Amino acid sequence: MSRLCKIVTLSLFIVFSTTLVKCETDFNATGVSELVGVIVIFRHGDRTPVQPYPNDPYKNESLWPVGFGQLTSVGKRRQLRLGQWLRSRYDGFLPDKYSEKDIYVRSTDVDRTLMSAEANLAGLYPPSGDQVWDQGLQWQPIPVHTIPEKEDYVLSGKKPCVKYNRLLRDLLKSPDFVNINRKNHDLYAYLTRYSGSLVNSLETLESLYNTLFIETIFNFTLPNWTVPVYPKKMRPFAELSFATLSFTEDLARLKTGPLITEMVNHFKERISYLERPEENNNEIKNTSVSSNGHFEKIEQPEVKSRKFWIYSAHDITIANVLQSLKLFQYHCPPYASTILIELRSLKSEYFVNIFYKNSTVPQQMKLKDCEFNCPFDKFLKIVEPLVIDAQTWQNECNTEDYDFEPLTIVVLIGLICFIFLSLFALKVCVGSLTDKKEHTKGYPYWRLANEEV
């Protein structure tokens, strides 16, 4: 009975979703507006927990099909299907045959995202015609570009930025967030006690939540202590944690601004290419023999004709982009969730459409102060506060530490001395302090456990 129910729902869903996709292609075919550029940002496919918690009954890596933080077979299939879905949505716009002149794929430098990109491309570009290089294998290699994490300020946002870190600390010390942490004190203490790992922030809570979530997907029975807190009590805070990294415009500009800027530049270049194709047509063919040997030889000339860009990244990337565009509804972005940003043209006007696909059907996302078919100029105005070029980013991130006046330094030194003295004083009575802590430890958890959840 329930199986029948599932099948009916599923087929209804498929019919519904295909009609929707059809509608969009029809919209395209009638000549109302023409698709001219697409940016795709997705989260990797299913993975194992990045890090189990100390008291985790499933912390033994051998219980898992692949190592911690790695992409699973389910994840590979999910990405392959997403690639196939992209093919069906953009077929006709994106040629069947792979060419570096159409598409550029960039991933964060992490195994699961690099592998997700490859699996996705296997679905998007099954070899055809003269690109079939092996009769027995329906796959062709496609370059996936990356950059080491410590250098990557665009996609992974892992390149260190002192100013950003300071701004984030300030945010987390602001009354609203302090209040959240205060209200969660009992929950944090409960989670810390039972998980064995320190939970004292939204971030650490989310990390534990995520591990528990994956264990339920793997049908692992969660320990009893999770019953009162997982998922219901933890979820809203895990979801909120995704909003924090780009919570304010200042944070968003430094964390997500470089990616937004790159996307805006892709579209700008696309438009100028479409408007002046003759200038860009003979870009590669004219590269003649260079005389500077291997040093100055640019082996990969800049390609200006691209119209499709894929970014393979993480849940926080999805959340950051949505939050920066003020489109984020608090949630944990699921595996292979995808943001589509489409550039359309109509009578030499350009429009931006944004979709978010976190299940089967992509939802239209309407920017604040702009209609769904957002004119490109208006779109530029909306994202303007986020746009930041590489040099500015680097300067702002670097200068933070040296931004002190002499007086401030004197005050700082005084402060440091004071802290040292206080620490020393504290150390004297540290024994009695810890004793007290031990005594009060048990009480709040009881209360929490008895609460209605």
Partner 1 sequence: MNTITLFFLVSFMSVGQNKKINGNLSLLQILFRHGERSPTETYNNDPYKNYDWPGGLGFLTNRGKMQMYTLGQQLRERYSDYLPEYYLPEEVLTYSSYSDRCLISAELLLAGLYPPVGQQIWNPDLLWQPIPVHYNPRNLDNIIAMKQPCKKYKEAFNEISAVRLNESIKKYPDIYRYLTEHTGSEIKTIGDIEFLYSTLEIEDLNNLTLPNWTKRYYPEPMKTLTAESLALYSYTPLLKRLSGGVFLKNVTDNMLQKVENNTTNKLILFSGHDLTVVNVMRSLGLDELLKPEFAATIIFELHKEREVKVLYKKNVNDDFNEMSIPGCQSSCELSNLVKVLDPVLPKNWNEECIKNVIV
Catalytic residue IDs: 44, 315
Q: Does residue number 142 form part of the binding site for partner 1 (CB under 8 A)?
A: yes
Shortest Cβ 274–partner 1 spacing (Å): 20
Cβ proximity to partner 1, 93 vs 139, nearer residue: 139
Binding partner 1 (rule: CB under 8 A), the pick from 24, 59, 93, 139 is 139
Binding partner 1 (rule: CB under 8 A), the pick from 54, 57, 92, 148 is 148
Binding partner 1 (rule: CB under 8 A), the pick from 293, 368, 429, 452 is 293
Q: Does residue number 335 form part of the binding site for partner 1 (CB under 8 A)?
A: no
344: Cβ contacts below 8 Å, ≥ 6 apart = 33, 34, 35, 36, 350, 351, 352, 353, 373
Query: Which residues, 46 to 65, sit near partner 1 by CB under 8 A?
Result: 65
Cβ proximity to partner 1, 36 vs 114, nearer residue: 114
Distances (CA, A) of 437 to 229, 276, 287, 408, 418: 24, 71, 72, 36, 25
For residues 347 and 228, the answer to whether their CB atoms sit within 8 Å is no
For residues 42 and 81, the answer to whether their CB atoms sit within 8 Å is no
Residues in contact with partner 1, shown as a per-residue x/- string from 99 to 138 under the rule CB under 8 A: xxx-------xxx--xxxxxx--x-------xxxxx-xxx
Q: Pick the piece of the chain touching partner 1 (CB under 8 A) from 66-74, 231-239, 262-270, 389-397.
A: 66-74
Q: Pick the piece of the chain touching partner 1 (CB under 8 A) from 142-150, 255-263, 351-359, 432-440.
A: 142-150
Q: How far apart are CA 278 and CA 36, in angstroms?
A: 17
Cβ proximity to partner 1, 300 vs 440, nearer residue: 300
Shortest Cβ 215–partner 1 spacing (Å): 20
Binding partner 1 (rule: CB under 8 A), the pick from 1, 4, 5, 289 is 289
334: Cβ contacts below 8 Å, ≥ 6 apart = 43, 358, 359
Cβ proximity to partner 1, 128 vs 174, nearer residue: 128
Residue with tokens 């500077």: 292
Cβ proximity to partner 1, 117 vs 229, nearer residue: 117
Shortest Cβ 247–partner 1 spacing (Å): 31
Phi, psi of 343 (to 5 degrees): -105, 125
Give the total of residues touching partner 1 (CB under 8 A): 56
Cβ proximity to partner 1, 136 vs 175, nearer residue: 136
Q: Pick the piece of the chain touching partner 1 (CB under 8 A) from 11-19, 288-296, 376-384, 407-415.
A: 288-296
Q: Does residue number 223 form part of the binding site for partner 1 (CB under 8 A)?
A: no
Q: Does residue number 290 form part of the binding site for partner 1 (CB under 8 A)?
A: yes
Q: What angle do CA 240, 246, 247 make, to 5 degrees?
A: 60
Q: Does residue number 140 form part of the binding site for partner 1 (CB under 8 A)?
A: yes
For residues 94 and 103, the answer to whether their CB atoms sit within 8 Å is yes
Query: Which class for 102: exposed (0-12), middle (13-18), buried (19 or more C-beta within 10 A)?
Result: middle
Q: How far apart are CA 331 and CA 235, in angstroms?
A: 8
Question: According to DSSP H, which parts of 297-405 are helical?
Answer: 315-324, 376-383, 390-399
Q: How far apart are CA 425 and CA 368, in angstroms?
A: 54
Q: Does residue number 146 form part of the binding site for partner 1 (CB under 8 A)?
A: yes
Q: What angle do the packed helices 315-324 and 257-275 form, to 10 degrees?
A: 70
Q: Does residue number 391 form part of the binding site for partner 1 (CB under 8 A)?
A: no
Shortest Cβ 86–partner 1 spacing (Å): 16
Cβ proximity to partner 1, 115 vs 168, nearer residue: 115
**Strand ranges (E), 72-230:** 103-107
Q: What angle do the packed helices 185-195 and 175-183 form, to 10 degrees?
A: 60
Shortest Cβ 265–partner 1 spacing (Å): 18
For residues 75 and 113, the answer to whether their CB atoms sit within 8 Å is no
Q: Does residue number 141 form part of the binding site for partner 1 (CB under 8 A)?
A: yes
DSSP notation for 255-279? HTHHHHHHHHHHHHHHHHHHH-HHH
Q: Does residue number 243 form part of the binding site for partner 1 (CB under 8 A)?
A: no
Shortest Cβ 304–partner 1 spacing (Å): 14
Q: Does residue number 151 form part of the binding site for partner 1 (CB under 8 A)?
A: yes
Q: Does residue number 413 form part of the binding site for partner 1 (CB under 8 A)?
A: no
Q: Does residue number 424 form part of the binding site for partner 1 (CB under 8 A)?
A: no
Q: Cβ–Cβ contacts within 10 Å for residue 200, how many?
A: 14
Reading the block at residue 420, the tokens are 């040292």
Element (H, E) at 294: helix 293-296
- Contacts with partner 1 by CB under 8 A lie at 65-67, 70-71, 73, 76-77, 80, 98-101, 109-111, 114-119, 122, 130-134, 136-148, 151, 284-285, 287-295, 297, 299-300
